[in-house]
């Protein structure tokens, strides 16, 4: 069974599903080993890890696709890739979806911001007209050609035009082929509840960022409201950054890194080092 089909089956299960967003292959493999059934990629994390830049539209479609392709191919579970605004018009979207399918991704997230975009939890966002986004969404639906490929429609209209406009757009986006609706950055529990009640029969995604605009509710709390997909977009990046800051600071000040529980043996196991060594020896002409 393909990863795309496995993701579709998960979405049809009726369960509340949660997953972190990752920005490199190590994070993806750790997520898989931890037991997650699927993963997201983090556009913020990719920009930060590749170039040390914020999520303000610095990356191109090629860079985002390459990062997501590597991540998707490093694990045996489906990956939903953050693809910002799609990097152009309908023709660009068609190519993007075809590239994502060829790279064995489970799906993509497309947002209705203007380009250059910015992280959904930053200020001064701008969105395109809903009709322009519908053209992109229709192109994405066309490009998958019946494949089990998941399209997540994200609207940032709540922060720009208010909740009523976000609800209006969400309805249109679902009617135009989106499998999952993602209303970004609700600022209160009340807004989360109103979105869930308005789209009671839809598959809704909630995005939790530690220190972001949305209340940091648990998976169970969001599931009870009606959200079926919960993304933890920056949990991996933030926790890794904290661990590095603590460890490197200790190394500088104390002359040793302090207690590091994840050992060289652990990383060797994660990367299946012994299996790769045995594979290389299989083709060696030098015999003992």
Task: Show pLDDT as tens, one digit a residue, over the chain (288 residues).
Answer: 789 999 999 999 989 999 999 999 999 999 999 999 999 999 999 999 999 999 999 999 999 999 999 999 999 999 999 999 999 999 999 999 999 999 999 999 999 999 999 999 999 999 999 999 999 999 999 999 988 999 999 999 999 999 999 999 999 999 999 999 999 999 999 999 999 999 999 999 999 999 999 999 999 999 999 999 999 999 999 999 999 999 999 999 999 998 899 999 999 999 999 999 999 989 988 765
CA 3 to chain centre: 16
- pLDDT number for residue 96: 97
Q: Is residue 91 part of a domain?
A: yes
Domain extent, residue 186, equals 3-241
**What residues contact 246, with CB distance under 8 A and at least 6 apart?**
258
CA-based nearest residue to 102, from 135, 75, 66, 141: 66
Q: Is 21 helix (H, G, I), strand (E, B) or coil?
A: strand
Closest CA to 154 of 173, 141, 168: 173
What does the longest C-alpha to C-alpha distance in the chain come to? 74
**Residue 32 Cα to chain centre, angstroms:** 14
For residue 286, the model assigns a pLDDT of: 74
Structure tokens at 164: 């009523």
pLDDT value of position 279: 93
- Could you tell me if residue 273 is inside a domain? no
**Could you count the other beta carbons within 10 Å of the beta carbon of residue 74?**
17
Helix ranges (H only) for the chain are 3-12, 25-34, 43-51, 61-73, 90-102, 130-144, 157-161, 163-175, 189-198, 219-225, 235-254, 264-270, 273-282
**Residue 275 located in a structural domain:** no
CA distance from start to end of the chain: 42
For residue 288, the model assigns a pLDDT of 59
Cβ atoms 170, 157 nearer than 8 A: no
Q: Which of 21, 234, 3, 19 is nearest to 100 (CA)?
A: 3
pTM: 0.95
Q: Any idea what the CATH number is for the domain that residue 182 is in?
A: 3.20.20.60
Q: For 102-116, what is each residue's pLDDT tens digit?
A: 999 999 999 999 999
- Exposed/middle/buried for residue 275 (C-beta within 10 Å: 0-12, 13-18, 19+): exposed
* 255, part of any domain: no
Considering the domain boundaries, does residue 22 fall inside one? yes
pLDDT of residue 258: 86
| 46 located within any domain | yes
108: enclosing H helix or E strand: strand 107-111
| Residue 71 falls inside a structural domain | yes
Are 87 and 61 in contact, with CB atoms under 8 Å apart?
yes
Residue 227 lies in a domain: yes
174, 182 Cβ separation under 8 angstroms: no
The total number of structural domains in the chain stands at 1
């Amino acid at each position: 069974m393909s990863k795309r089909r496995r993701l579709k089956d998960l979405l049809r299960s009726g369960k509340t599903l949660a997953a972190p967003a990752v920005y490199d292959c190590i994070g993806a493999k750790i997520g898989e080993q931890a037991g997650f059934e699927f993963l997201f990629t983090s556009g913020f994390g990719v920009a930060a890890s590749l170039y040390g830049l914020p999520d303000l539209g610095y990356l191109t479609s090629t860079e985002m696709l390459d990062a997501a392709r590597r991540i998707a191919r490093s694990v045996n579970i489906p990956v939903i890739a953050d693809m910002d605004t799609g990097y152009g018009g309908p023709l660009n979207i068609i190519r993007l979806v075809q590239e994502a399918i060829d790279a064995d991704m489970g799906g993509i997230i497309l947002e209705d911001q203007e380009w250059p975009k910015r992280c959904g939890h930053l200020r001064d966002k701008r969105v395109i007209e809903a009709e322009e986004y519908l053209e992109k969404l229709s192109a994405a639906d066309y490009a998958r050609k019946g494949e089990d490929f998941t399209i997540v429609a994200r609207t940032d209209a709540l922060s720009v035009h208010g909740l009523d406009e976000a609800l209006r757009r969400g309805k249109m986006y679902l009617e135009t082929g989106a499998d999952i609706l993602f209303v970004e950055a609700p600022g209160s529990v009340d807004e989360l509840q109103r979105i869930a009640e308005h789209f009671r029969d839809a598959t809704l995604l909630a995005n939790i960022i530690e220190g972001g605009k949305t209340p940091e509710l648990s998976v169970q709390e969001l599931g009870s409201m009606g959200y079926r997909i919960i993304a933890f977009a920056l949990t991996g990046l933030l926790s890794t950054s904290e661990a590095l800051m603590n460890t490197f600071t200790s190394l500088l000040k104390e002359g040793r890194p302090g207690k590091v529980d994840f050992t060289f043996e652990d990383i060797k196991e994660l990367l299946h080092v012994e299996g790769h060594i045995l594979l290389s020896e299989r083709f060696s002409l030098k015999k003992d």
